[in-house]
Amino acid sequence: MKIYQCDQCEYASVSDKYRCPSCGTGQLQEKELSSKGSVYSYTDIHIAPAEFAHLAPYTVALVQLDEAPVKVTVRMSSGVKIGDTVDLDHLEDGAYIYSKC
């Protein structure tokens, strides 16, 4: 799992930014770490936009990574509850697909 860590402050994010949104001056540096984490929160989406309608109902979770103060929005391969341990299963059209450990 790639994350982006500011070279001037504590800020880190799963998405790259042109400049650090926290300190405004630092550059984000790419870092590789474990994709394992736990479910911070989630929702089961029953009504979906046209491009995801064929998947509904599906679960989207906000996952807290174990190795960094970074959260990642993922689609789950099954239902979850807060605190469940999860890990990356595969990438699909730019989305992280996670499953329960």
Q: Which is nearer to another protein, 23 or 82 (CB)?
A: 82
Q: Which is nearer to another protein, 25 or 41 (CB)?
A: 41
Closest CA to 5 of 24, 22, 27: 27
> What phi and psi values does residue 49 have, to the nearest 5 degrees?
-65, 165
Residue ranges in contact with another protein by CB under 8 A: 13-15, 21, 40-53, 55, 58, 60-62, 70-75, 82, 92-96
Q: Which is nearer to another protein, 8 or 79 (CB)?
A: 79
CA distance linking residue 33 with residue 30, whole number of Å:
10
